[in-house]
Structure 1
Amino acid sequence: MTGTGPGTPTKSVTLRLLDKADKEIVKLDRAIVGAVYKFQHEFRKNPEAGGFDLKQLKGHDRLWSARVNREYRALLLRLAGDDWLLVSVKHRGHVHRNLDRLTYGINQVTGAIEYVDLQVVEEGVLRPTAPTAQAPPAEPSPAPPSPSAEPRPETEPRPETAPQSAADDEARLFSEFTAEQLADLGVAEPLIPIVLKLTTDDELLGLAEYAPRHTGEVLLRLRDGVPYDQVMQQVTDPLTGRRDDGAREPVDTDDWQTAVERSQTVVITDDASLQSIIEEGDFGRWKVFLHPTQEKLVHRAYSGPARVSGGPGTGKTIVALHRVKHLVDRLPPGHTKPVLLTTFNRNLAADLRTRLMSLGGPETLARVDITHVDQLATRVVSESAPGSGKRRIDDAQALLEWRQLLLETGENRWDAEFLSDEWNQVILGQAVASRSEYFRARRAGRGRSVTRPDRAEIWQLAERFTQRLEVSGLETYRQVAERAAQLEIARRHKIEERRKRQEENAGPGNIHAESGTGAWLRHRYRHIVVDEAQDLSPAHWKMLRAMAPQEPDDLFLVGDTHQRIYDNQVTLGSLGVHIRGRSARLTLSYRTTHEILKSATHLLDGTDYDDLDGGTDNLGGYRSVLHGMRPWLRGAESWDGELDLVAEQVRAWHHVARESVAVCVPTNDMADDVVSRLARRGIVATKITSDGPKGGEGVHVGTMYRFKGLEYRCMIIAGVSEGKVPRSSVDAWESTDKTRHQRELRRARSLLFVAATRARDALVITWSGGPSRFLRPLRAPGANG
């Protein structure tokens, strides 16, 4: 192909994006991003259009340049006559100055296409350290720089590296590894000389930002102290084929069509996908790409329930969606929905439906029941007792009912919060149906001990509370979930009894229902996939366990207990969901930058989290290969002054689509204040409710609970003041119930952690008066260094 022209005009060419090209493009000025959108639209129609000035770059056999606008050029690899791969968009001056610094090829280990701009990598490695997040000065500081700002090119040539001394050699991060070892792990060979000279984590992060993703992950794992053989097994081997004798399948470094299928690319086929660049800054890589570690989890055959954990942005939901598609693809033809995809939150369930439609199309969607878990429980109960007419209330409303009951009865020995938790976690949680059963019920983890006479009083109050709800025509979602669990358990017992009788009399076969309808009696689902598993209650798990037969690939759970924002503590094994030996953890974040991630994990300092099965979980090895600005911390004297800071910051992000900016606060009243203040400054904002954003345009504003499962380019967390985060009432538990006190503090930390990890590019945290105690690790000198 060297030296030849583009050839005859081609229609409907394929245009792909190499991994990380999308991240580079969305950091450009908004007007340039729009030009890139237009370029891709026109290029797909006819790459021979004269305005593109399409030409092969001197000294390169596959690398071409095409005009985006007067200043910028697109760099493309020509894979075949009508198959193009967009690898970068650069200023035309950069392209012409650095032709000899642009390298590309097929990795001899992974078989994937790699493109490296050595000049950009070196600039990233040499980039000065960003300012450390700290308490702001007395006078309002300027807004943080734009997250879209590009690194400033070096104006002076990089000085020659001085000969390494013995001390220098010891200081190098990867001095214990040889170039051959790094190459065998799949590190991009043009980068290995630079890798062997790295001496600081800032240099490593600069390299990882611009290096091929596999190279970045390998180096970060090694830097975390993961043994070489383990990195080979967990990160590199899944990318390589193995023969029966254990040797790697050879890679044909001239087979570009095979290589593109093994690379992390996105195929752009329609303008709607391109428009997402403008509207969201997100090319939706998840729709087509699974990291090999994730893919292994998706396609594995499990002998029973399996769980995938991992920090925010590690792709747990992506794994769940691809797992659903994998299970559907293995089903025999039919018109039923034997696969359930469920989660705790109604908004998340709607989002899962949209994303699964994009991933698998209507054929996949037609075989999957997608619903949030309380809606599922309501459906089960309604089938059993249609037309009950009761209004369902959540935990917050139930707590108000408890308070009213205590006020009316004059009871002051027990507070409403304690009684509500006792009712939810012990009485409903263990399906306690009588006073004698309550006397025998276990109260592990409840903290405050109670005597037998205490239990008698509590049971009497619980009965009065239940009667109060009945008279008012109310029932809680937890009541509904427990009733649904018991109905499904009874259904399962009936199925098992019928099967046993049939096997005894005539061998295994189909089981008919006893009802006069003649319907088949069977488990509701064959496979169940649960997203945000950490938020489900014991009743939910009992219901789900009964809904699917205990067979291979029955339950697949994804979640992260560090993100548990509801008071649902469970031990899955005690509920019949046995995941021991079938658990995996994802550690690489695809969403947010290393700097934001590091600050967010500091918010959890010194706090223990469970693993849903009686053990502990941690975020060890949780890393990002993305690099950006450190979070900014800013304080004000009053809430009114803090609202001014918020409006000022939102204005500073004028170049970012408003829908990609969010403001998160502790309470609904504070959310209303933010919307009002932004409106006074001429900034459109929309409040997020239980049904999602009220309008389709503007900055999204809501409480921390509303941001679960969402992500934004730029995020402000406001109101992070002592007394608000955590709320002042939490400390009242410290002297009366230390277990409850620690649990509430842990939940408040998790809420703040979830909010902080919604940010992809920029995060600002503000407070008025005194900052929250949770911010101390972020404000300490060198905390983000």
Structure 2
Amino acid sequence: MTVTGAPRTGVTLRLLDKADKEIVKLDRAVLGAFYKFQHDFRRNPDAGGFDLKQLEGHDRLWSARVNREWRALMIRLGGDDWLLVSVKHRSHVHKNLDRLNYGINHITGAIEYVDLQVVEESVLRRGLTPPAAPVPAPTPVPAPEPARPKPSEEPEGLEEPEKPLFGAYTDEELADLGVAEPLIPIVRKLTTDDELLGLAEYAPRHTGEVLLRLRDGASYEEVMDEVTAPVAVEEPERNLDSADWQAAVDRSQTVAITDDEFLQSILEEGDFGRWKIFLHPTQEKLVHRRYSGPARVGGGPGTGKTIVALHRVCHLVRQLPPGHTKPVLFTTFNRNLAADLRSRLLSLGGPDVLARVDIAHVDQLATRIVSEADPGNAKRRIDDTTALREWRDLLVEAGETRWSAEFLSDEWNQVILGQAVASRSDYFTVRRAGRGRSVTRAERVGIWQLAERFTQRLETKGLETHRQVAERAARLEMTRKAKIDSRSREREDRSGLDNLHVEAGSGARLRHRYRHIVVDEAQDLSAAHWKMLRAMAPSEADDMFLVGDTHQRIYDNQVTLGSLGVHIRGRSSRLTLSYRTTREILRDAIRVLGDADYDDLDGDSDTLAGYRSVLHGPVPSLRGARSWDEEMDLVVQQLRAWHDVPRESTAICVPTNDMVTQLAERLARHGITPTEITQDGPRGDQGVHIGTMYRFKGLEYRCLVIAGVAEGLVPRASVDTWEHTDPSRHRRELHRARSLLFVAATRARDALAITWHGEPSRFLAPLLPPRSDT
């Protein structure tokens, strides 16, 4: 049946998840024809030449002409709402009409499309094709072979037939977990992991997630609880009318094509771009839930913690009464991330939402508070390295030998400033969690006297540190909060009225600065930061929402939130599905962490158990060189091997600033444009991005090289000087170094290469074959 009638305008054209995987592989000429097709179709599907018709034997699947040989396959959701599911050669469409399956999953309520022919070919291709050879290197170090089960003892000459991967589950059990029912017969035949990955490449995302989680060793009950139950609909749709299909769109991973440039960016970036804005049903529940107090969302890299925070901000703003103030604070530790959050919030919520949100990195916020109290302050801000030199000079001048400058600097930063300790008596009772070495009361007296002398020394020189500013801001806000609480109690005694939020300065009475506070990268904030934030908002429902992952803590800020007035017990959730990084990269990144323990910001342990991905790609490349000069040549070779990836989607991270400079010069000599990542972000949009590992926090790339992962650089050699003199600090520094490498490795989506010169880092031992003693 061909569509007829009056011309229509304003057609909605959506792109179903994974349709881009096929479209982006089209020949350049066909892809160009597709761009023109979608542009013209959105304007008016009746404008001749589309040959728009319903496919025989299908209720909702339609075909439209892209060019003479190619057809767009679309599900008609209702009226002028269309869902593009594939672009196929016309011969494929005609030969495989009975192999095109689509519908609404009876468990998840989401729209699914399956081309059985494509899935079967992908399974066969993955099962037969060996992995691609790595890029040649002067001294290659092959990645270890994955562990395989030992063959059972069989008589010689007999081979045990390969067992199906999912033979332990019935068809009904797989269907109850949400596996797409048309795929179950193929699932029953899978016998290797490569075949499973071939199916997952083109299967609906939920089906791939269920099967890969089962294959990872999770029980049926665990997969039901962790993967299926969070996305299951209460009442499965069975009367598939137009209303059901429209409702199913909201539960499906689709993108409405708004303009040509938007579509092009989606196709060029694939999942890499879309995961930044898509909200999984599991995440959506966290976004819209009402919490009785502070809440925390944890999860590994790429699980969508930041996008949850962004959507949470939008949700909170939309619950506000009309106004022109900014009652919602959105903050993070890193200045680069704060700028990125502003851009993404504008894209997600528009100018109306942005207008009600104060976005600032936490040190900027602290500086604002201190400047408000002391507008004439002209002190010069110094970093921790400069402050440590001042400590050393003070101890030499004072003839003090009981304590090292490093110990006193850490005590001052982590305990005195970190917890906003205002007096000697408070220092006598403050907790020193994580400091390792205990100190007596008499020793605390001496430490406090030295801290006072050091503070006076900086005051005399007109210097201050970021931690000092954070500590002062915390004390100012705590004093302010005490006044608010006192006045509130007085008003309640007089009238019984509650202390509702009004922006500071908008009325005669002193009020809390914010009603809601959302924190990204929560693991990096210090205790003083938390005390400041806690004082900025009233303790009530939905007051604080924080996201973070202590496995990614790269600064020496260890806190217990409950002791700081931020009580998250009973209101913590964890995301486990990575939308960014492949299974192969995740596997090696997690191995880098080893068996180190990580906390949950509230005194308990945190874990990456269940952390997984439905994406897959090549095993990370591991290559060593004899010298740094030779290693830089390896990096150039690797970049040339990724010639089909846009340079701005490729990056290199290294341990030191000197290595950034040297590598940038080497790339330039080979005709590859380098772009350095500074504290303010990349210096330009073109070229391969290069920076130290710290600069890569919050960034993502399709392909990434981590260079210089050598012993003595990762971790730096100075870390081991603490092994016997301060074992606690030694453990903390190794923790941070592991986390930094873990963060760097998980910035890659499609491909990761790790290189070193000389001795490889001790952290790479789990990734490398065991050394031979001969």
- TM-score relative to the length of structure 2: 0.90
Number of the residue aligned with 2:138: 139
Task: State yes or no: 1:183 paired with 2:181.
Answer: no
Task: State yes or no: 1:251 paired with 2:250.
Answer: no
Distance 1:274 1:138, change over 3 A: closer
**1:544-583 to 2 correspondences below 5 Å:** 544-583=533-572
SS of the equivalent of 1:735 reads helix
Q: Which shows bigger deviation, 520-529 or 104-113? A: 104-113
**Which amino acid letter does the alignment assign opposite residue 114 of structure 1?**
E
Q: 1:665 aligns with which of 654, 665, 678?
A: 654
Number of the residue aligned with 2:589: 600
Task: State yes or no: 1:106 paired with 2:95.
Answer: no
**1:167-316 to 2 correspondences below 5 Å:** 171-229=163-221, 231-242=223-234, 248-255=235-242, 256-277=245-266, 280-281=269-270, 284-286=273-275, 289-316=278-305
Number of the residue aligned with 2:120: 122
**1: CA distance, partners of 2:180 / 2:656:** 48
Distance 1:70 1:561, change over 3 A: farther
Task: State yes or no: 1:84 paired with 2:73.
Answer: no
**1:331-410 to 2 correspondences below 5 Å:** 331-406=320-395
Q: Which shows bigger deviation, 668-677 or 305-314? A: 668-677
Number of the residue aligned with 2:149: none
* Cα deviation code 1:752-777 (max 9, x no counterpart): 11111111111111111111111111
**2: CA distance, partners of 1:80 / 1:685:** 49
Q: Which shows bigger deviation, 541-550 or 29-38? A: 29-38
Task: State yes or no: 1:611 paired with 2:600.
Answer: yes
Alignment check: 8 A CA contact 2:272 2:580 kept: no
SS of the equivalent of 1:734 reads helix
Alignment check: 8 A CA contact 1:287 1:358 kept: no
Alignment check: 8 A CA contact 2:109 2:233 kept: no
Alignment check: 8 A CA contact 1:534 1:561 kept: yes
Alignment check: 8 A CA contact 2:52 2:65 kept: yes
SS of the equivalent of 1:682 reads coil
Distance 1:379 1:113, change over 3 A: same
**1: CA distance, partners of 2:521 / 2:683:** 24
Q: Displacement of 1:389 after TM fit?
A: 1.1
Alignment check: 8 A CA contact 1:111 1:252 kept: no
Distance 1:452 1:697, change over 3 A: same
**Which amino acid letter does the alignment assign opposite residue 487 of structure 1?**
L
Distance 1:227 1:250, change over 3 A: same
Number of the residue aligned with 1:521: 510
Query: Identity of paired residues, percent?
Result: 74
**Which amino acid letter does the alignment assign opposite residue 219 of structure 1?**
L
Distance 1:135 1:474, change over 3 A: farther
**2: CA distance, partners of 1:707 / 1:99:** 47
SS of the equivalent of 1:577 reads coil
Q: Tell me, which stretches of 5 or more residues in structure 2 are unaligned? A: 144-159
Number of the residue aligned with 2:152: none
**2: CA distance, partners of 1:516 / 1:568:** 33
Q: Which shows bigger deviation, 37-46 or 736-745? A: 37-46
Q: 1:680 aligns with which of 664, 669, 672?
A: 669
**2: CA distance, partners of 1:459 / 1:130:** 67
Q: Which shows bigger deviation, 616-625 or 181-190? A: 181-190
SS of the equivalent of 1:392 reads strand
Q: Which shows bigger deviation, 543-552 or 229-238? A: 229-238
**2: CA distance, partners of 1:511 / 1:85:** 46
SS of the equivalent of 2:421 reads coil
**2: CA distance, partners of 1:214 / 1:516:** 50
Number of the residue aligned with 1:532: 521
**2: CA distance, partners of 1:133 / 1:458:** 60
Q: 1:502 aligns with which of 477, 491, 503?
A: 491
Q: Which shows bigger deviation, 720-729 or 39-48? A: 39-48
**Which amino acid letter does the alignment assign opposite residue 305 of structure 1?**
P
* Cα deviation code 1:112-154 (max 9, x no counterpart): 211112233233334148878999987366999xxxxxxxxxx
Number of the residue aligned with 1:542: 531
Q: 2:406 aligns with which of 396, 411, 417?
A: 417
**Which amino acid letter does the alignment assign opposite residue 189 of structure 1?**
E
SS of the equivalent of 1:325 reads helix
Q: Which shows bigger deviation, 668-677 or 98-107? A: 98-107
Number of the residue aligned with 2:682: 693
**Which amino acid letter does the alignment assign opposite residue 195 of structure 1?**
V
Q: Displacement of 1:470 after TM fit?
A: 1.4
Number of the residue aligned with 1:428: 417
**Which amino acid letter does the alignment assign opposite residue 179 of structure 2?**
V
Q: Displacement of 1:236 after TM fit?
A: 3.4
SS of the equivalent of 2:106 reads coil
Number of the residue aligned with 2:723: 734
* Cα deviation code 1:518-560 (max 9, x no counterpart): 6321111111111111000000111111111111111111100
Distance 1:449 1:506, change over 3 A: closer
Q: Displacement of 1:27 after TM fit?
A: 5.9
Q: Displacement of 1:511 after TM fit?
A: 8.8
Distance 1:696 1:409, change over 3 A: farther
Number of the residue aligned with 1:714: 703
SS of the equivalent of 2:266 reads helix
**1:754-769 to 2 correspondences below 5 Å:** 754-769=743-758
Alignment check: 8 A CA contact 1:305 1:579 kept: yes
Q: Which shows bigger deviation, 442-451 or 348-357? A: 442-451
**2: CA distance, partners of 1:761 / 1:477:** 37
**Which amino acid letter does the alignment assign opposite residue 594 of structure 2?**
D
Distance 1:348 1:545, change over 3 A: same
**2: CA distance, partners of 1:44 / 1:140:** 54
Distance 1:436 1:302, change over 3 A: closer
- TM-score relative to the length of structure 1: 0.88
**Which amino acid letter does the alignment assign opposite residue 79 of structure 1?**
L
SS of the equivalent of 2:760 reads coil
Alignment check: 8 A CA contact 1:17 1:265 kept: yes
Distance 1:26 1:376, change over 3 A: farther
**2: CA distance, partners of 1:28 / 1:475:** 59
Q: Displacement of 1:361 after TM fit?
A: 0.8
**1: CA distance, partners of 2:679 / 2:633:** 27
**Which amino acid letter does the alignment assign opposite residue 208 of structure 1?**
A
**2: CA distance, partners of 1:88 / 1:477:** 54
Alignment check: 8 A CA contact 2:313 2:328 kept: yes
Q: Tell me, which stretches of 5 or more residues in structure 1 are unaligned? A: 145-166, 243-247
Distance 1:417 1:315, change over 3 A: same
**Which amino acid letter does the alignment assign opposite residue 197 of structure 2?**
L
Number of the residue aligned with 1:319: 308
Alignment check: 8 A CA contact 1:588 1:622 kept: yes
**2: CA distance, partners of 1:318 / 1:781:** 40
Alignment check: 8 A CA contact 2:107 2:236 kept: no
**2: CA distance, partners of 1:5 / 1:55:** 6
Cα RMSD, aligned residues only: 3.2
Q: Displacement of 1:359 after TM fit?
A: 1.1
Aligned residues: 753
Q: Which shows bigger deviation, 703-712 or 404-413? A: 404-413
Q: Displacement of 1:206 after TM fit?
A: 3.0
Q: Which shows bigger deviation, 18-27 or 89-98? A: 89-98
Q: Displacement of 1:238 after TM fit?
A: 4.3
Alignment check: 8 A CA contact 1:22 1:283 kept: no
**2: CA distance, partners of 1:30 / 1:772:** 43
**1: CA distance, partners of 2:39 / 2:396:** 66
**Which amino acid letter does the alignment assign opposite residue 632 of structure 2?**
L
